[in-house]
Chains A and B, each alone.
Chain A
Protein backbone atom coordinates (compact mmCIF):
# COMPACT_ATOMS: atom_id res chain seq x y z
CA UNK A 1 0.00 0.00 0.00
CA UNK A 2 1.37 3.40 -1.02
CA UNK A 3 1.78 5.85 1.81
CA UNK A 4 1.62 9.63 1.49
CA UNK A 5 2.49 12.30 4.01
CA UNK A 6 -0.73 14.21 3.35
CA UNK A 7 -3.82 13.29 1.34
CA UNK A 8 -6.36 16.04 0.64
CA UNK A 9 -9.91 14.78 0.01
CA UNK A 10 -11.51 17.12 -2.52
CA UNK A 11 -10.08 19.46 -5.17
CA UNK A 12 -12.44 22.41 -4.73
CA UNK A 13 -11.47 25.77 -3.25
CA UNK A 14 -10.75 24.28 0.19
CA UNK A 15 -8.70 21.32 -1.05
CA UNK A 16 -6.65 23.46 -3.45
CA UNK A 17 -5.78 26.06 -0.81
CA UNK A 18 -4.97 23.36 1.77
CA UNK A 19 -2.66 21.48 -0.62
CA UNK A 20 -0.87 24.66 -1.71
CA UNK A 21 -0.18 25.75 1.86
CA UNK A 22 0.91 22.23 2.91
CA UNK A 23 3.41 22.23 0.06
CA UNK A 24 4.61 25.74 0.98
CA UNK A 25 5.07 24.51 4.56
CA UNK A 26 7.51 21.89 3.36
CA UNK A 27 5.55 18.71 2.61
CA UNK A 28 5.98 17.51 -0.97
CA UNK A 29 4.69 13.97 -0.61
CA UNK A 30 1.04 14.84 -0.89
CA UNK A 31 -1.94 14.04 -3.08
CA UNK A 32 -5.29 15.65 -3.90
CA UNK A 33 -8.13 13.24 -4.67
CA UNK A 34 -10.94 14.82 -6.73
CA UNK A 35 -14.00 12.92 -7.93
CA UNK A 36 -14.92 15.30 -10.76
CA UNK A 37 -13.15 15.51 -14.15
CA UNK A 38 -11.55 18.87 -13.29
CA UNK A 39 -10.17 20.68 -10.27
CA UNK A 40 -12.04 23.69 -8.91
CA UNK A 41 -15.13 22.08 -7.44
CA UNK A 42 -18.38 24.02 -7.35
CA UNK A 43 -16.60 27.22 -8.50
CA UNK A 44 -16.62 25.81 -12.05
CA UNK A 45 -20.38 26.30 -12.27
CA UNK A 46 -20.51 29.58 -10.33
CA UNK A 47 -19.95 31.73 -13.40
CA UNK A 48 -21.23 34.96 -11.77
CA UNK A 49 -18.77 37.50 -10.39
CA UNK A 50 -18.11 38.68 -6.87
CA UNK A 51 -15.49 36.13 -5.79
CA UNK A 52 -12.10 37.10 -4.39
CA UNK A 53 -12.72 40.63 -3.11
CA UNK A 54 -10.85 39.77 0.11
CA UNK A 55 -8.19 37.47 -1.33
CA UNK A 56 -7.29 39.24 -4.59
CA UNK A 57 -8.87 42.69 -4.07
CA UNK A 58 -10.80 42.28 -7.32
CA UNK A 59 -14.10 40.78 -8.38
CA UNK A 60 -13.60 37.48 -10.16
CA UNK A 61 -16.03 34.89 -11.48
CA UNK A 62 -15.97 31.44 -9.88
CA UNK A 63 -13.94 29.75 -12.64
CA UNK A 64 -11.41 32.62 -12.62
CA UNK A 65 -11.03 32.38 -8.83
CA UNK A 66 -10.52 28.60 -9.09
CA UNK A 67 -8.00 29.05 -11.92
CA UNK A 68 -5.76 31.21 -9.70
CA UNK A 69 -5.42 28.28 -7.31
CA UNK A 70 -5.28 25.57 -9.99
CA UNK A 71 -2.37 27.43 -11.64
CA UNK A 72 -0.51 27.43 -8.33
CA UNK A 73 -1.15 23.72 -7.85
CA UNK A 74 0.27 23.04 -11.32
CA UNK A 75 3.24 25.40 -10.92
CA UNK A 76 4.15 23.88 -7.57
CA UNK A 77 3.67 20.40 -9.02
CA UNK A 78 1.25 19.31 -6.34
CA UNK A 79 0.10 15.82 -7.40
CA UNK A 80 -3.62 15.28 -7.93
CA UNK A 81 -5.91 12.57 -9.26
CA UNK A 82 -9.15 13.35 -11.10
CA UNK A 83 -12.13 11.03 -11.35
CA UNK A 84 -11.06 9.55 -8.03
CA UNK A 85 -14.01 8.97 -5.73
CA UNK A 86 -13.10 8.28 -2.12
CA UNK A 87 -15.31 5.52 -0.73
CA UNK A 88 -14.03 5.24 2.80
CA UNK A 89 -11.48 6.46 5.30
CA UNK A 90 -10.58 4.17 8.20
CA UNK A 91 -9.61 5.37 11.68
CA UNK A 92 -6.08 4.17 10.82
CA UNK A 93 -6.09 6.72 7.96
CA UNK A 94 -6.35 4.18 5.16
CA UNK A 95 -8.18 5.76 2.22
CA UNK A 96 -10.08 3.64 -0.30
CA UNK A 97 -10.90 5.30 -3.60
CA UNK A 98 -12.29 4.21 -6.95
CA UNK A 99 -11.12 5.52 -10.29
CA UNK A 100 -11.85 4.60 -13.91
CA UNK A 101 -8.18 4.18 -14.71
CA UNK A 102 -6.91 2.54 -11.51
CA UNK A 103 -9.92 0.63 -10.22
CA UNK A 104 -10.20 0.20 -6.48
CA UNK A 105 -7.14 1.58 -4.69
CA UNK A 106 -6.09 1.76 -1.05
CA UNK A 107 -3.53 4.27 0.15
CA UNK A 108 -2.54 5.44 3.60
CA UNK A 109 -1.68 8.89 4.87
CA UNK A 110 0.14 10.33 7.85
CA UNK A 111 -2.27 13.27 7.76
CA UNK A 112 -5.57 13.83 5.98
CA UNK A 113 -7.27 17.11 5.10
CA UNK A 114 -11.03 16.73 4.69
CA UNK A 115 -12.25 19.19 2.04
CA UNK A 116 -15.32 17.51 0.56
CA UNK A 117 -17.57 20.57 0.63
CA UNK A 118 -21.32 20.43 1.03
CA UNK A 119 -24.43 19.53 -0.89
CA UNK A 120 -27.88 21.00 -1.24
CA UNK A 121 -30.84 20.03 0.90
CA UNK A 122 -32.96 17.90 -1.46
CA UNK A 123 -36.72 17.81 -1.93
CA UNK A 124 -36.95 14.62 0.10
CA UNK A 125 -35.77 16.52 3.17
CA UNK A 126 -38.32 19.33 2.74
CA UNK A 127 -41.64 17.47 3.14
CA UNK A 128 -43.38 19.20 0.24
CA UNK A 129 -46.66 17.46 -0.58
CA UNK A 130 -47.64 16.61 -4.13
CA UNK A 131 -46.56 14.41 -7.00
CA UNK A 132 -42.95 13.75 -7.95
CA UNK A 133 -42.85 14.97 -11.54
CA UNK A 134 -39.81 15.98 -13.60
CA UNK A 135 -38.82 19.63 -13.53
CA UNK A 136 -37.92 19.94 -9.84
CA UNK A 137 -34.24 20.68 -9.33
CA UNK A 138 -32.01 21.89 -6.58
CA UNK A 139 -30.73 25.31 -7.65
CA UNK A 140 -27.16 24.02 -7.90
CA UNK A 141 -28.17 21.15 -10.16
CA UNK A 142 -29.94 23.60 -12.47
CA UNK A 143 -26.82 25.77 -12.34
CA UNK A 144 -24.61 22.91 -13.47
CA UNK A 145 -27.03 21.80 -16.20
CA UNK A 146 -27.16 25.33 -17.56
CA UNK A 147 -23.61 26.61 -17.14
CA UNK A 148 -21.57 23.50 -17.86
CA UNK A 149 -23.77 21.01 -19.67
CA UNK A 150 -25.65 23.57 -21.75
CA UNK A 151 -29.29 22.73 -21.06
CA UNK A 152 -31.93 25.46 -20.81
CA UNK A 153 -33.61 23.79 -17.77
CA UNK A 154 -36.98 25.59 -17.92
CA UNK A 155 -39.07 28.51 -19.12
CA UNK A 156 -41.63 29.26 -16.41
CA UNK A 157 -39.91 29.11 -13.07
CA UNK A 158 -40.78 29.25 -9.36
CA UNK A 159 -37.98 29.20 -6.79
CA UNK A 160 -38.39 27.99 -3.20
CA UNK A 161 -35.77 29.32 -0.81
CA UNK A 162 -33.80 32.53 -1.07
CA UNK A 163 -30.34 31.14 -0.52
CA UNK A 164 -27.63 32.71 -2.65
CA UNK A 165 -27.66 29.95 -5.28
CA UNK A 166 -31.42 30.37 -5.74
CA UNK A 167 -31.03 34.14 -6.14
CA UNK A 168 -28.15 33.74 -8.59
CA UNK A 169 -30.21 31.24 -10.62
CA UNK A 170 -33.21 33.60 -10.66
CA UNK A 171 -31.04 36.11 -12.53
CA UNK A 172 -29.29 33.51 -14.64
CA UNK A 173 -32.53 31.96 -15.90
CA UNK A 174 -34.04 35.40 -16.51
CA UNK A 175 -31.02 36.38 -18.63
CA UNK A 176 -31.45 33.17 -20.63
CA UNK A 177 -35.04 34.10 -21.41
CA UNK A 178 -36.97 32.26 -18.69
CA UNK A 179 -39.79 33.88 -16.75
CA UNK A 180 -39.01 33.63 -13.04
CA UNK A 181 -42.36 34.26 -11.40
CA UNK A 182 -41.60 34.33 -7.71
CA UNK A 183 -39.06 33.42 -5.05
CA UNK A 184 -40.77 32.06 -1.93
CA UNK A 185 -38.89 32.06 1.39
CA UNK A 186 -40.13 30.22 4.47
CA UNK A 187 -38.31 32.50 6.89
CA UNK A 188 -39.29 36.16 7.51
CA UNK A 189 -35.85 37.16 6.13
CA UNK A 190 -33.67 36.00 3.26
CA UNK A 191 -30.67 33.80 3.90
CA UNK A 192 -28.97 35.34 0.88
CA UNK A 193 -26.58 38.28 0.63
CA UNK A 194 -28.15 41.72 0.26
CA UNK A 195 -26.25 42.34 -2.94
CA UNK A 196 -27.85 39.26 -4.51
CA UNK A 197 -31.38 40.32 -3.50
CA UNK A 198 -30.84 43.68 -5.18
CA UNK A 199 -28.93 42.59 -8.28
CA UNK A 200 -30.63 39.25 -8.94
CA UNK A 201 -34.25 39.97 -7.95
CA UNK A 202 -34.89 43.73 -7.78
CA UNK A 203 -33.03 44.39 -11.05
CA UNK A 204 -35.48 42.13 -12.87
CA UNK A 205 -38.61 42.88 -10.80
CA UNK A 206 -38.78 39.31 -9.49
CA UNK A 207 -40.96 39.27 -6.36
CA UNK A 208 -39.56 37.82 -3.13
CA UNK A 209 -42.30 36.51 -0.86
CA UNK A 210 -40.99 36.16 2.69
CA UNK A 211 -42.78 33.82 5.13
CA UNK A 212 -44.15 31.77 2.23
CA UNK A 213 -43.65 28.16 1.26
CA UNK A 214 -44.74 25.66 -1.37
CA UNK A 215 -47.78 23.69 -0.20
CA UNK A 216 -48.60 21.82 -3.39
CA UNK A 217 -46.99 20.56 -6.57
CA UNK A 218 -49.11 19.81 -9.64
CA UNK A 219 -48.26 17.65 -12.64
CA UNK A 220 -47.65 13.95 -13.05
CA UNK A 221 -44.92 13.53 -15.68
CA UNK A 222 -43.74 17.14 -15.79
CA UNK A 223 -44.49 19.77 -13.18
CA UNK A 224 -47.34 22.02 -14.34
CA UNK A 225 -47.70 24.33 -11.38
CA UNK A 226 -47.12 24.97 -7.70
CA UNK A 227 -49.22 26.46 -4.91
CA UNK A 228 -47.53 28.63 -2.34
CA UNK A 229 -49.02 29.91 0.92
CA UNK A 230 -48.09 32.32 3.66
CA UNK A 231 -46.86 30.76 6.91
CA UNK A 232 -47.46 31.87 10.49
CA UNK A 233 -44.86 32.44 13.20
CA UNK A 234 -44.59 28.66 13.67
CA UNK A 235 -43.94 28.25 9.95
CA UNK A 236 -47.32 26.58 9.42
CA UNK A 237 -49.25 27.47 6.23
CA UNK A 238 -52.17 29.87 6.82
CA UNK A 239 -55.37 28.56 5.15
CA UNK A 240 -56.81 30.97 2.61
CA UNK A 241 -53.49 32.53 1.61
CA UNK A 242 -52.76 30.06 -1.20
CA UNK A 243 -51.60 31.42 -4.56
CA UNK A 244 -51.23 29.17 -7.61
CA UNK A 245 -48.50 29.63 -10.22
CA UNK A 246 -48.36 27.76 -13.52
CA UNK A 247 -44.77 26.68 -14.10
CA UNK A 248 -42.62 24.03 -15.75
CA UNK A 249 -39.74 24.26 -13.29
CA UNK A 250 -39.34 24.47 -9.51
CA UNK A 251 -35.90 25.26 -8.13
CA UNK A 252 -35.04 24.52 -4.50
CA UNK A 253 -32.51 26.67 -2.67
CA UNK A 254 -33.18 25.59 0.89
CA UNK A 255 -29.83 25.27 2.55
CA UNK A 256 -26.56 23.42 2.31
CA UNK A 257 -25.41 20.40 4.30
CA UNK A 258 -21.73 19.54 4.82
CA UNK A 259 -20.96 16.23 3.13
CA UNK A 260 -19.54 14.18 6.00
CA UNK A 261 -20.25 10.51 5.29
CA UNK A 262 -16.49 9.86 5.16
CA UNK A 263 -15.86 11.89 8.31
CA UNK A 264 -18.41 9.90 10.30
CA UNK A 265 -16.76 6.68 9.23
CA UNK A 266 -13.51 7.81 10.83
CA UNK A 267 -15.51 7.95 14.04
CA UNK A 268 -14.81 11.54 15.06
CA UNK A 269 -17.18 13.64 17.14
CA UNK A 270 -19.64 15.60 15.00
CA UNK A 271 -21.35 18.92 15.72
CA UNK A 272 -25.14 18.96 15.57
CA UNK A 273 -25.37 22.63 14.60
CA UNK A 274 -22.74 22.79 11.85
CA UNK A 275 -23.20 19.15 10.69
CA UNK A 276 -19.42 19.12 10.46
CA UNK A 277 -16.81 17.60 12.75
CA UNK A 278 -15.75 19.33 15.96
CA UNK A 279 -12.26 20.75 15.57
CA UNK A 280 -9.60 22.44 17.70
CA UNK A 281 -7.71 25.64 16.91
CA UNK A 282 -5.56 23.70 14.43
CA UNK A 283 -8.75 22.62 12.61
CA UNK A 284 -7.90 19.10 13.69
CA UNK A 285 -10.82 16.74 14.25
CA UNK A 286 -11.05 14.28 17.14
CA UNK A 287 -8.80 11.93 15.16
CA UNK A 288 -5.15 13.03 15.44
CA UNK A 289 -3.79 14.01 12.01
CA UNK A 290 -7.22 14.41 10.43
CA UNK A 291 -7.99 18.06 9.63
CA UNK A 292 -11.11 19.65 8.13
CA UNK A 293 -11.74 22.92 6.29
CA UNK A 294 -14.18 24.70 4.01
CA UNK A 295 -17.83 23.78 3.64
CA UNK A 296 -17.35 20.26 4.98
CA UNK A 297 -16.50 21.86 8.32
CA UNK A 298 -19.25 24.50 8.31
CA UNK A 299 -21.08 26.21 5.46
CA UNK A 300 -19.36 29.48 4.54
CA UNK A 301 -20.78 32.62 2.97
CA UNK A 302 -17.68 33.70 1.03
CA UNK A 303 -15.12 31.55 -0.74
CA UNK A 304 -12.39 33.90 0.49
CA UNK A 305 -13.04 32.64 4.01
CA UNK A 306 -12.87 29.05 2.75
CA UNK A 307 -9.47 29.69 1.18
CA UNK A 308 -7.96 31.26 4.28
CA UNK A 309 -9.37 28.58 6.59
CA UNK A 310 -8.13 25.81 4.28
CA UNK A 311 -4.67 27.35 4.03
CA UNK A 312 -4.46 27.13 7.81
CA UNK A 313 -5.61 23.48 7.79
CA UNK A 314 -2.97 22.63 5.17
CA UNK A 315 -0.25 24.36 7.13
CA UNK A 316 -1.27 22.55 10.32
CA UNK A 317 -1.38 19.20 8.54
CA UNK A 318 2.18 19.84 7.34
CA UNK A 319 3.28 20.77 10.86
CA UNK A 320 1.71 17.56 12.16
CA UNK A 321 3.63 15.49 9.62
CA UNK A 322 6.88 17.35 10.25
CA UNK A 323 6.18 16.86 13.97
CA UNK A 324 6.80 20.40 15.02
CA UNK A 325 4.64 21.48 17.95
CA UNK A 326 5.13 18.11 19.63
CA UNK A 327 4.68 19.00 23.24
CA UNK A 328 3.40 16.98 26.10
CA UNK A 329 1.78 19.91 27.83
CA UNK A 330 -1.65 20.91 26.58
CA UNK A 331 -4.33 23.20 27.96
CA UNK A 332 -7.62 22.64 26.20
CA UNK A 333 -10.31 25.29 26.53
CA UNK A 334 -13.88 24.77 25.34
CA UNK A 335 -15.68 27.41 23.27
CA UNK A 336 -19.36 27.87 23.93
CA UNK A 337 -21.87 29.70 21.70
CA UNK A 338 -24.64 31.48 23.61
CA UNK A 339 -27.47 33.96 23.26
CA UNK A 340 -27.89 34.24 19.52
CA UNK A 341 -24.54 32.77 18.49
CA UNK A 342 -25.42 29.40 16.97
CA UNK A 343 -22.02 27.72 16.97
CA UNK A 344 -18.29 28.39 16.88
CA UNK A 345 -15.54 26.92 14.74
CA UNK A 346 -13.21 25.83 16.25
CA UNK A 347 -15.00 24.27 19.23
CA UNK A 348 -11.86 23.97 21.39
CA UNK A 349 -8.56 25.85 21.67
CA UNK A 350 -5.31 24.49 23.04
CA UNK A 351 -4.12 27.77 24.55
CA UNK A 352 -0.75 26.20 25.41
CA UNK A 353 0.16 25.29 21.83
CA UNK A 354 -1.91 27.69 19.77
CA UNK A 355 -0.50 30.17 17.26
CA UNK A 356 -0.27 33.87 18.15
CA UNK A 357 -3.95 34.22 17.37
CA UNK A 358 -6.92 32.13 16.36
CA UNK A 359 -9.87 33.26 14.25
CA UNK A 360 -13.17 31.97 15.64
CA UNK A 361 -15.93 31.92 13.03
CA UNK A 362 -19.64 31.66 13.76
CA UNK A 363 -23.13 32.53 12.61
CA UNK A 364 -25.97 34.19 14.49
CA UNK A 365 -29.49 32.77 14.88
CA UNK A 366 -31.61 35.71 13.71
CA UNK A 367 -31.37 39.23 12.32
CA UNK A 368 -30.24 41.51 15.16
CA UNK A 369 -29.84 45.28 15.20
CA UNK A 370 -27.47 47.16 17.48
CA UNK A 371 -26.10 44.23 19.40
CA UNK A 372 -22.63 43.54 20.66
CA UNK A 373 -20.58 40.42 20.11
CA UNK A 374 -18.95 39.68 23.44
CA UNK A 375 -16.27 37.26 24.57
CA UNK A 376 -16.08 35.92 28.14
CA UNK A 377 -13.22 33.97 29.73
CA UNK A 378 -14.67 31.91 32.60
CA UNK A 379 -17.45 34.44 33.10
CA UNK A 380 -15.32 37.56 32.82
CA UNK A 381 -15.98 39.87 29.89
CA UNK A 382 -12.87 40.25 27.72
CA UNK A 383 -14.07 42.09 24.62
CA UNK A 384 -17.32 43.48 23.33
CA UNK A 385 -17.75 44.83 19.82
CA UNK A 386 -20.91 46.65 18.83
CA UNK A 387 -22.45 45.70 15.49
CA UNK A 388 -25.22 47.69 13.84
CA UNK A 389 -26.59 44.60 12.16
CA UNK A 390 -26.05 40.85 12.40
CA UNK A 391 -27.64 38.40 9.96
CA UNK A 392 -27.68 34.59 9.79
CA UNK A 393 -26.61 34.76 6.14
CA UNK A 394 -23.31 36.44 6.96
CA UNK A 395 -20.53 34.67 8.83
CA UNK A 396 -19.02 36.59 11.75
CA UNK A 397 -15.66 36.20 13.43
CA UNK A 398 -13.65 37.18 16.47
CA UNK A 399 -9.89 36.92 16.75
CA UNK A 400 -8.51 35.65 20.06
CA UNK A 401 -4.88 36.45 20.81
CA UNK A 402 -2.63 34.02 22.64
CA UNK A 403 -1.37 36.86 24.81
CA UNK A 404 -4.92 37.41 26.10
CA UNK A 405 -4.80 34.01 27.84
CA UNK A 406 -1.66 34.80 29.87
CA UNK A 407 -3.68 36.06 32.83
CA UNK A 408 -5.96 33.01 32.82
CA UNK A 409 -3.77 29.99 33.64
CA UNK A 410 -6.78 27.94 34.79
CA UNK A 411 -9.16 28.96 31.99
CA UNK A 412 -11.79 26.34 31.21
CA UNK A 413 -14.40 27.98 29.03
CA UNK A 414 -14.69 30.77 26.50
CA UNK A 415 -18.20 32.05 25.79
CA UNK A 416 -19.03 33.95 22.61
CA UNK A 417 -22.45 35.57 22.67
CA UNK A 418 -24.50 38.50 21.43
CA UNK A 419 -25.69 41.10 23.95
CA UNK A 420 -28.14 43.97 23.95
CA UNK A 421 -26.37 47.31 24.19
Chain B
Protein backbone atom coordinates (compact mmCIF):
# COMPACT_ATOMS: atom_id res chain seq x y z
CA UNK B 1 0.00 0.00 0.00
CA UNK B 2 1.24 3.45 -0.96
CA UNK B 3 0.44 6.70 0.86
CA UNK B 4 0.75 10.26 -0.39
CA UNK B 5 0.42 13.60 1.40
CA UNK B 6 -1.38 16.40 -0.41
CA UNK B 7 -2.69 19.86 0.41
CA UNK B 8 -6.27 20.43 -0.67
CA UNK B 9 -6.78 23.49 -2.89
CA UNK B 10 -10.57 23.48 -2.66
CA UNK B 11 -10.72 26.44 -0.24
CA UNK B 12 -8.47 28.52 2.05
CA UNK B 13 -8.64 25.80 4.75
CA UNK B 14 -5.94 23.93 2.84
CA UNK B 15 -6.57 20.62 4.62
CA UNK B 16 -3.61 18.26 4.79
CA UNK B 17 -4.76 15.11 3.04
CA UNK B 18 -3.33 11.63 3.39
CA UNK B 19 -4.20 9.37 0.49
CA UNK B 20 -3.78 5.59 0.80
CA UNK B 21 -3.64 3.71 -2.47
CA UNK B 22 -4.19 -0.03 -2.33
CA UNK B 23 -4.65 -1.11 -5.92
CA UNK B 24 -8.09 0.08 -6.96
CA UNK B 25 -8.93 1.04 -3.42
CA UNK B 26 -8.22 4.70 -2.63
CA UNK B 27 -8.98 6.15 0.78
CA UNK B 28 -8.59 9.77 1.77
CA UNK B 29 -8.03 10.99 5.31
CA UNK B 30 -7.68 14.50 6.71
CA UNK B 31 -10.32 16.10 4.50
CA UNK B 32 -13.13 18.02 6.17
CA UNK B 33 -15.51 17.99 3.21
CA UNK B 34 -16.21 15.99 0.01
CA UNK B 35 -14.22 18.46 -2.12
CA UNK B 36 -11.01 17.23 -0.51
CA UNK B 37 -11.78 13.56 -1.17
CA UNK B 38 -12.57 14.18 -4.83
CA UNK B 39 -9.51 16.35 -5.29
CA UNK B 40 -7.20 13.79 -3.71
CA UNK B 41 -8.61 10.91 -5.77
CA UNK B 42 -8.11 12.86 -9.01
CA UNK B 43 -4.61 13.91 -7.99
CA UNK B 44 -3.44 10.33 -7.39
CA UNK B 45 -5.23 8.73 -10.36
CA UNK B 46 -5.23 11.32 -13.14
CA UNK B 47 -3.70 14.70 -12.19
CA UNK B 48 -4.25 17.31 -14.88
CA UNK B 49 -3.32 20.98 -15.37
CA UNK B 50 -4.04 23.76 -17.82
CA UNK B 51 -0.67 24.91 -19.19
CA UNK B 52 -0.24 28.61 -19.90
CA UNK B 53 2.75 30.10 -21.66
CA UNK B 54 3.64 32.50 -24.46
CA UNK B 55 5.05 32.20 -27.99
CA UNK B 56 7.01 34.59 -30.15
CA UNK B 57 4.82 36.82 -32.31
CA UNK B 58 6.15 38.58 -35.41
CA UNK B 59 4.91 41.85 -36.84
CA UNK B 60 3.42 43.14 -33.58
CA UNK B 61 4.25 45.86 -31.05
CA UNK B 62 4.84 43.21 -28.39
CA UNK B 63 7.26 40.26 -28.59
CA UNK B 64 5.07 37.49 -27.16
CA UNK B 65 1.47 36.36 -27.46
CA UNK B 66 0.08 34.46 -24.48
CA UNK B 67 -1.30 30.94 -25.04
CA UNK B 68 -2.93 28.11 -23.09
CA UNK B 69 -3.98 24.52 -23.56
CA UNK B 70 -7.68 24.57 -24.52
CA UNK B 71 -8.39 22.30 -21.55
CA UNK B 72 -6.41 20.52 -18.85
CA UNK B 73 -3.80 17.98 -19.92
CA UNK B 74 -2.13 15.15 -17.97
CA UNK B 75 0.39 16.61 -15.52
CA UNK B 76 3.21 14.42 -16.83
CA UNK B 77 2.81 15.97 -20.30
CA UNK B 78 3.48 19.54 -19.11
CA UNK B 79 7.13 19.67 -20.18
CA UNK B 80 6.51 17.88 -23.52
CA UNK B 81 3.83 20.47 -24.15
CA UNK B 82 6.20 23.33 -23.23
CA UNK B 83 8.81 21.97 -25.65
CA UNK B 84 6.36 22.23 -28.55
CA UNK B 85 5.09 25.64 -27.44
CA UNK B 86 8.60 27.09 -27.33
CA UNK B 87 9.27 25.90 -30.90
CA UNK B 88 6.37 27.73 -32.62
CA UNK B 89 5.97 31.32 -33.77
CA UNK B 90 2.89 33.35 -34.68
CA UNK B 91 2.42 36.34 -36.97
CA UNK B 92 0.18 39.28 -36.10
CA UNK B 93 -2.73 39.79 -36.16
CA UNK B 94 -3.62 37.15 -33.58
CA UNK B 95 -7.07 36.75 -32.02
CA UNK B 96 -8.08 35.09 -28.77
CA UNK B 97 -8.90 31.48 -29.58
CA UNK B 98 -6.63 31.20 -32.64
CA UNK B 99 -5.14 27.71 -32.75
CA UNK B 100 -1.38 27.77 -32.17
CA UNK B 101 -0.81 23.99 -32.05
CA UNK B 102 -3.59 21.58 -33.05
CA UNK B 103 -2.59 18.55 -31.02
CA UNK B 104 -0.04 19.36 -28.37
CA UNK B 105 2.38 16.61 -27.33
CA UNK B 106 -0.03 13.92 -28.47
CA UNK B 107 -2.62 14.86 -25.85
CA UNK B 108 -5.29 15.62 -28.47
CA UNK B 109 -5.62 19.06 -26.86
CA UNK B 110 -5.01 22.26 -28.83
CA UNK B 111 -2.91 25.18 -27.71
CA UNK B 112 -4.80 28.43 -28.34
CA UNK B 113 -3.97 32.14 -28.16
CA UNK B 114 -5.29 34.06 -25.13
CA UNK B 115 -4.52 37.59 -26.28
CA UNK B 116 -5.64 39.79 -29.18
CA UNK B 117 -2.45 41.07 -30.81
CA UNK B 118 -2.91 43.60 -33.63
CA UNK B 119 -0.28 44.32 -36.29
CA UNK B 120 2.49 46.74 -35.33
CA UNK B 121 1.86 50.48 -35.50
Contacts and interface: CB of A to CB of B under 8 A. Distances in A.
Interface of B: 6-9, 11-14, 32, 49-54, 56, 61-64, 66-68, 75, 78-79, 82, 86, 96, 114-116
A390 B14 CA distance: 11
B9 A37 contact: no
Nearest to B114: A61
Given A61-B68, A61-B114, A47 B63 contact: no
A63 B94 CA distance: 13
Nearest to A193: B12
A318 to B, nearest CB: 28
B56 A150 contact: yes
Interface residues of A, number: 34
A143 to B, nearest CB: 11
B53 A175 contact: yes
Give the most central of B6, B64, B115: most A CB within 10 Å. Answer: B115
Contacts of A59: 50
Interface of A: 37, 44, 47-49, 59-64, 67, 146-150, 172, 175-176, 193-195, 197-199, 202-203, 388-391, 393-394
Contacts of A148: 62-64
B96 A67 contact: yes
A67 B82 contact: no
Contact of A149 (B12, B63, B116): B63
Given A63-B114, A203-B49, A47 B54 contact: yes
A175 B12 contact: no
Contacts of A47: 52-54, 66-68, 114-115
A150 B53 contact: no
B15 to A, nearest CB: 10
A149 B79 CA distance: 22
Contacts of B54: 47, 146-147, 150
A186 B7 CA distance: 21
B64 A150 contact: yes
A197 B13 CA distance: 13
A261 to B, nearest CB: 27
A149 B14 contact: no
Contacts of B51: 175
A48 B52 CA distance: 5
B9 A49 contact: no
B64 A147 contact: yes
A134 B109 CA distance: 40
Given A47-B53, A47-B114, 6 more contacts: A47-B66, A59-B50, A61-B52, A148-B62, A194-B9, A199-B49
A37 B53 CA distance: 22
A199 B47 CA distance: 11
B69 to A, nearest CB: 10
A6 B50 CA distance: 40
25 contacts: A44-B115, A47-B52, A47-B114, A60-B114, A61-B52, A61-B66, A61-B68, A63-B66, A64-B96, A64-B114, A64-B115, A67-B115, A149-B64, A172-B53, A175-B51, A175-B78, A176-B53, A194-B7, A195-B9, A197-B7, A198-B6, A199-B9, A203-B75, A388-B32, A389-B14
